[in-house]
Amino acid sequence: MDVIELMKKEMLRRNYSLKTIKAYNYCLNKFLIFCNKDFKKISKQDVKDYLDKLVEKNKSGSTINVHLNALKFLMEEILNKRFMIKIKYSKTPKILPLFLTKQEVINLINSISNDKHKLMIKLLYSSGLRINELVNLKVKDLEFDKNYGWVRQGKGNKDRLFIIADSLKEELSNYIKKENLDQDSWIFNSYNGHISTRSIQEIVKRATKKAKLNKKVHPHTLRHSYATHLIENGYDLNSVQSLLGHNSPKTTMIYIHMASPKLINVKSPLDGLQLEKDYENLSYDDKNLDGIKLVS
């Protein structure tokens, strides 16, 4: 059995997501082509040389980290070799994710004429679901009487709650009845099962163009918008963290930075000072050492 198959079986045994397994297998295949030697003879230097090669090709920090983690798993879990390597180029630049303003969300949704498509996008935004979580929703995952639904085996193979917007309950319930869906049905189905993520990406792309939004909007942009708007509406970090399914509050903290200071009632300390605006008209005695008179 080759090393790629060994790694795949080990990851499946540990219940890794299929997406991670696919990514790690891709990285390992690229590495083995570069290394061109029996996998039992692979050394730490081979790994370092490969990562250096990725840097020379100007690969992003996030890409390098995926390759690093894949090779770390190979060395430690498959080859049982000690793997300690420090690299300074592994950091991913901290770029704030794109989000829409509340008015832009309204414009986006209103630009969609197909009722089913509009319902999907409204549910995506109102719940903060990831696109793959939306397409995998089943009727039995919704508990209308309790105002929430369930994400089953989401990211990290975890179940979590998501809120169902009050304004969406009747529309969603009527849609299920109209489509005559049973409890085990996908909510948004197609001929071959559930609707594809690609279809939803196209819906968002067309809606963005029609709404004339000058932003590169993806389905995940709605999740970022949902989290940012929750913070702006005054909900605490722990609540937002739980709804998003984040393991660490550090991940959720980014939405604090994205939220509008005005909407989260944060004011500059300067606004608490009453400053004389017309310094030139003050008498000499009225002027303090800093050139500004403070009025208590």
Give 146-197 pLDDT, tens digit per residue: 888 998 876 666 788 888 999 999 999 999 999 999 999 999 988 777 889 9
Most confident of 47-56, 58-67, 108-117: 108-117
The catalytically annotated residue of 59, 72, 140, 155 is 155
The catalytically annotated residue of 138, 160, 223, 224 is 223
Q: What Cα–Cα distance (Å) separates residue 180 from each residue in 118, 138, 188, 189?
A: 19, 13, 12, 12
Partners of residue 199 on adjacent β-strands: none
Q: Which of 15, 45, 78 is the last residue of a domain?
A: 78
pLDDT-based confidence at residue 284 (cuts at 50, 70, 90): very low
Q: Is 206 a catalytic residue?
A: no
Q: What is the pLDDT of residues 262-271, one digit of tens each?
A: 555 656 565 6
The model carries a pTM of 0.66
Q: Which domain holds residue 34?
A: 3-78
Q: Is 13 a catalytic residue?
A: no
CATH code for the domain of 30 = 1.10.150.130
- What is the pLDDT, as a whole number, of residue 202? 95
pLDDT-based confidence at residue 296 (cuts at 50, 70, 90): very low
Residues 251 and 107 in one domain: yes
Residues 153 and 249 in one domain: yes
- What is the pLDDT, as a whole number, of residue 265? 60
Whole-number mean pLDDT of the chain?
82
Residues 70 and 136 in one domain: no
Q: Is 152 a catalytic residue?
A: no
Pair 243, 162: CB distance under 8 Å: yes
d(CA 295, CA 260): 29
Pair 40, 79: CB distance under 8 Å: yes
Pair 32, 39: CB distance under 8 Å: yes
In a domain, 283, yes or no: no
- Give 175-183's long-range contacts (Cβ < 8 A, gap of 24+): 175/115, 175/116, 175/119, 176/139, 181/139, 182/139, 183/138, 183/139, 183/140
